[in-house]
């Protein structure tokens, strides 16, 4: 009984972390719009640089073990985290560039495609099983995504790049034997020399916005560490605690919120075909969530 109760608590915390991460990511375009006067390269460099001290603070505040040296001594683990670092850095850059260039709807499409990739990876590599209802949910989500791609008007390179890089990132992080905080610390530490080198170079050549603009802009760039660290920590924790296919469907929360921001707040154009895709995807999400909600209610 004690083991079952502990497992239920673990599953519940996994759902909490997952929902929190994707709500955060769904609203994060608000931040990037606030620093739209800064180049995507400079924003990315500051996200990485400030993420390191923020992650160290969370390790200290939550009294988690510091495993940086242990990871660097484990070549296999270090190689895996180096791969995840490359994937998440590409994802951050493409997302930042897209939002600052009036392409929030394109990022929304990318993160609608991403869960389908995560679900397929979970079924193929982790032998995760789906019920008939959940396969029906996958079908409706695929119809919605397919409709988006067909009616997009051009090859959706932003969307497909975002979807592929983040699905592979989640897949790799689930396989690596490292907690979310120390994993993120290693990732950002590996990318830190490049980020700091770029920041120092643009400062020396007077191309930087940081320290050459308003105090508000400087503070927002420094805040990039918090904006980056918190949802990634929650996402990595969720990926460890609940099945990858469940994480995959929770990911529909973020693009749905971004979709609403793009169309209702930033007034990006929305055609009837895009709206139809939104309806199909949300219906699929509702179908998929029936099973986990039933399980949660039965446990309580």
Tens digits of residue pLDDT in 132-156: 887 888 888 788 878 877 776 566 7
pLDDT value at residue 154: 63
pTM of the predicted structure, to 2 decimals: 0.80
Average pLDDT over residues 274-296: 76
* 203: exposed, middle or buried (Cβ count in 10 Å: 0-12, 13-18, 19+): middle
Token representation of residue 64: 């988690």
Instruction: Identify which of 181, 171, 167 has the alpha carbon closest to the alpha carbon of residue 80.
Output: 171
Structure tokens at 252: 């529909």
Whether the CB-CB separation of 99 and 184 falls below 8 Å is answered with no
Ranking 185-189, 240-244, 252-256 by mean pLDDT, the lowest is 240-244
CA–CA separation, 92 vs 40, rounded Å? 9
Q: What tens digit of pLDDT does each residue of 208-243 get?
A: 999 998 999 999 999 999 998 899 888 878 877 887
CB 38 within 8 A of CB 96: no
Q: How far is CA 37 from CA 43, 116, 163, 228, 289, in A?
A: 10, 34, 26, 19, 40
- Count Cβ atoms within 10 A of the Cβ of residue 197 and give its class: 0-12 exposed, 13-18 middle, 19 or more buried: exposed
**80/187 Cα distance (integer angstroms):** 10
Map out the domains of the chain as residue ranges. 2-299
And the tokens for 287?
């179908």
CA distance 86 to 6: 35
Asked if residue 210 lies in contact with residue 216, where contact means CB atoms within 8 angstroms, the answer is no
Q: What is the DSSP string of 34-55?
A: HTTTS-HHHHHHHHHHHHHHHH
CB atoms inside a 10 Å sphere around CB 146: 14
State residue 259's pLDDT score. Answer: 85
User: In this predicted structure, which of 32-36, 52-56, 229-233, 235-239 has the lowest mean pLDDT?
Assistant: 235-239
């Amino acid at each position: 009984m004690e083991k079952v109760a502990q497992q239920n608590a673990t599953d519940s915390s996994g759902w909490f972390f997952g929902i929190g991460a994707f709500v955060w990511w769904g609203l994060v375009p608000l931040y990037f719009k606030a620093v739209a006067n800064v180049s995507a390269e400079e924003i990315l460099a500051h996200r990485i640089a400030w993420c390191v001290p923020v992650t160290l603070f969370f390790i200290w505040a939550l009294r988690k073990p510091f495993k940086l040296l242990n990871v660097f001594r484990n070549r296999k683990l270090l190689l895996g985290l180096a791969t995840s670092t490359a994937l998440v850095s590409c994802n951050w850059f493409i997302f930042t560039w897209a939002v600052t260039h009036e392409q929030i709807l394109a990022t929304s499409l990318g993160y609608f495609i991403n869960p389908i990739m995560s679900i397929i990876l979970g079924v193929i590599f982790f032998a995760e099983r789906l019920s008939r209802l959940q396969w029906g949910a996958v079908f409706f989500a695929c119809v919605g995504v397919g409709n988006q791609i067909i009616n997009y008007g051009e090859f959706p390179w932003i969307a497909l790049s975002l979807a592929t890089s983040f699905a592979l990132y989640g897949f790799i992080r689930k396989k690596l034997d490292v907690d979310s905080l120390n994993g993120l610390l290693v990732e950002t530490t590996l990318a830190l020399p490049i980020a700091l080198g770029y920041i120092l170079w643009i400062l020396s050549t007077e191309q930087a916005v940081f320290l050459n603009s308003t105090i508000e802009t400087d503070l927002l760039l420094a805040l990039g560490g918090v904006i980056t660290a918190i949802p990634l920590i929650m996402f990595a924790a969720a990926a460890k605690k609940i099945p990858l296919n469940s994480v995959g469907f929770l990911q529909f929360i973020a693009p749905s919120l971004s979709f609403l921001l793009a169309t209702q707040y930033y007034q990006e154009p929305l055609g009837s075909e895009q709206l139809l895709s939104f309806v199909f995807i949300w219906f699929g999400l509702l179908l998929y969530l029936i099973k986990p909600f039933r399980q949660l209610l039965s446990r309580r």
